[in-house]
């Protein structure tokens, strides 16, 4: 169990070059990017002082939303409410969207007659 209890789990904790980093994900699947960010804000705001000092001392504090691109639908919107943006700002953090390229269709092996 981590300081965030059973509400988040670590995807990765360790070094990225010379910087220590932690990549976390909520255990409860959020329906929107906005609700996921608000969930993390609430967890960080509730941290005990020592752990909150670690957050405040971090060089980079990102709420990263991963988006897997696809051919369909043609477009999709991910709205973040003004109040959520204010909460992120109060935490000294950024909202980052990472868009992953669509998966390449796998080519099926063709058999050649002998």
What is the reported pLDDT for 3? 63
Q: Could you give the residue ranges of the DSSP H alpha helices within 18-78? A: 33-45, 49-57
Q: What is the DSSP letter of 5?
A: B
Listed in sequence order, the residues at least 6 apart from 25 whose beta carbon sits closer than 8 Å to its beta carbon are: 8, 9, 11
| pLDDT class of 114 with cuts at 50, 70, 90 | low
pTM of the predicted model over 0.85: no
The better pLDDT of the pair 109, 80 is held by 80
pLDDT in tens, 72-97: 888 889 999 999 999 999 999 999 99
What is the reported pLDDT for 23? 84
pLDDT in tens, 23-81: 888 888 889 999 999 999 999 999 999 989 988 988 889 998 888 888 888 888 999 99
Per-residue pLDDT for 111 more than 80? no
Q: What tokens does 10 get? A: 């670590």
What is the reported pLDDT for 108? 63
Please state the domain extents for the chain: 8-100
| pLDDT class of 109 with cuts at 50, 70, 90 | low
Give CA separation, 65 vs 25, 84, 113, in Å.
10, 14, 48
What element of type H or E holds 90?
A: helix 82-90
């Amino acid at each position: 169990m981590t300081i965030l209890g059973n509400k988040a789990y670590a995807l990765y904790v360790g070094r990225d070059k010379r910087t220590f980093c932690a990549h976390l994900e909520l255990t409860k699947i959020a329906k929107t990017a906005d609700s996921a960010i608000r969930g993390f804000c609430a967890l960080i705001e509730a941290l005990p002082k020592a752990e909150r000092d670690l957050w405040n001392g971090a060089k980079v504090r990102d709420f990263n939303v991963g988006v897997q691109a696809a051919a369909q639908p043609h477009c999709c919107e991910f709205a973040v409410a003004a109040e959520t943006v204010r909460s992120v700002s109060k935490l000294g953090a950024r909202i980052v969207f990472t868009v992953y390229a669509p998966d390449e269709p796998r080519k099926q092996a063709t058999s050649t007659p002998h």
